[in-house]
Amino acid sequence: MGKRLFLFLTPDGVTYSSPELNEPDVDNFQVLGYGQGSDEDEAFVDFKSKNPWLEDTEFEETISVEIKHKIHEGKSFSLKA
């Protein structure tokens, strides 16, 4: 079986919807990156090896989600109609 692609997200951290805000106002997940492997564990090792900067952050938890395409290969949509 070929390598599968997993996106790694974290619920840690904060997000601001506007630069004018003094406090974060969006409760969401942040995308940390992706990894490839025959399963989630192998993909996690690949993800960590490609993102050594993670060791210098306060992120504690990550969640994997299998995806079909890398982010830059996906279709883009506008949130403003």
Average pLDDT value for the chain: 89
In a domain, 53, yes or no: yes
pTM: 0.76
Range of the domain at 43: 4-15+27-72
In a domain, 58, yes or no: yes
> How many structural domains does the chain have?
1
**DSSP string over 22-75:** SS--B---EEEEEEEESSHHHHHHHHHHH-GGGGGS-----EEEEESS-GGGSP
State pLDDT tens for residues 33-48.
999 999 999 999 999 9
Q: In angstroms, what CA-CA distances link 44 with 19, 36, 53?
A: 33, 8, 15
Residue 80 confidence (pLDDT) above 80 = yes
